[in-house]
Amino acid sequence: MRKFNLIAAIALLILGVLTGMPNVAQAETGISLDTTNEVVNVVTVYATTSNQAKVLSQVSQAEPTFSKTPGFQDSAILKAQDGTQVIALSQWQGKDLSSFQSYAKEHVLNISTDQTPQTFACKVQHTETRTTSPSFSQGDVIMFSQFKMKPGKDQSELATIVTQEMPSVLQMIPGLQWAAMCPSTDESTIALLARWNSREDFESLGQQPGFDQETNYWQTYADNEHGLYDVVKIIR
């Protein structure tokens, strides 16, 4: 009987551990980039210099408080490999921007950095994938690119060109896993996100005609800022 009670106790202990694990697993599970028209994607860019670790800590502590905010779906926090930026990429349910505007008012402007954070709402318009749908997991290497429209230039024209270029890039560079284009709702910016296997794969694209500094396809329409980022935290 004592042996049976000991086995039962151990079994209950193991069961208790297993039932407590979903929260941990959920924190480590990746999130999908929603491509439906029912979700607004919000990009918040925090400029950093020598204080990236401090800003990253502030953002990492602040973002989870929005998990119970109406409309909030999930968020990924990215840090630039060159130390210049921290990005919060969040997804909000609903076609209107009311949830996002509340988020911006209550949170974005309260984070202290060297410069005022830049934030904009966008919707995924086009994706290209090699094997899996666009998603973010901790440890992923992500390219984040901003095409900032020049005065008088039409965002939709550049979006069409980017859409046409995306399939050829996927074929050209084996280390590119997926790419997603997200024009901003205010027509000022086009965000381009892509998952790469390595920095070497990413840098090889910049050596190709049409993507280097002299012949890039976007220079007539927009100024481009881009870099590589590590996904450091997933929030639901």
Report how far apart, in Å, the C-alpha atoms of 142 and of each of 60, 111, 191 are: 18, 23, 12
* Domain residue spans of the chain: 30-235
Q: What is the pLDDT of residue 206?
A: 74
Q: What is the pLDDT of residue 6?
A: 39
Residue 108's contacts (CB-CB under 8 Å, 6 or more residues apart) are 44, 117, 119
Give the lowest-confidence range in 6-10, 27-31, 52-56, 206-210. 6-10
**19: its two tokens:** 């039932």
Mean pLDDT value across residues 110-116 = 66
Mean pLDDT value across residues 27-48 = 84
Q: pLDDT band for position 15 (50/70/90)?
A: very low
Inter-residue contact 148 to 223 (CB < 8 Å): yes
Rounded distance, CA 44 to CA 38, Å? 20
Tell me phi and psi for residue 65, to 5 degrees: -65, -15
Q: What is the pTM of this model?
A: 0.81
Q: What is the pLDDT of residue 49?
A: 76
* SS3 assignment, position 27: helix
| CATH 3.30.70.100 applies to domain 30-235 | yes
Q: pLDDT band for position 207 (50/70/90)?
A: confident
Residue type, 51: N
**195: its two tokens:** 């998952």
Is pLDDT above 70 for 172?
yes
Mean pLDDT value across residues 106-123 = 74
Give the lowest-confidence range in 66-70, 89-93, 181-185, 188-192. 66-70
Give the lowest-confidence range in 35-49, 74-88, 133-147. 35-49
Q: What is the pLDDT of residue 204?
A: 82
Between CA 84 and CA 126, with CA 217 as vertex, the angle to 5 degrees is 75
Is pLDDT above 90 for 122?
yes
Mean pLDDT of the chain: 81
Between CA 78 and CA 82, with CA 81 as vertex, the angle to 5 degrees is 125
The model's pLDDT over 53-88, given as tens digits with 9 standing for 90+, comes to 988 988 888 887 777 777 888 999 999 999 999 999
Rounded distance, CA 197 to CA 141, Å? 7
Return the percentage of the chain with pLDDT > 70, whole number. Answer: 78
Q: pLDDT band for position 29 (50/70/90)?
A: confident
Rounded distance, CA 52 to CA 20, Å? 33
Is the torsion defined by CA of 181, 221, 77, 193 positive or negative? positive
| Intra-chain end-to-end CA distance of the chain, in Å | 46
Q: What is the pLDDT of residue 35?
A: 87
Rounded distance, CA 133 to CA 14, Å? 35
Is the torsion defined by CA of 10, 16, 22, 27 positive or negative? negative
* Beta carbons within 10 angstroms of residue 46's beta carbon: 28
Is pLDDT above 60 for 21?
no
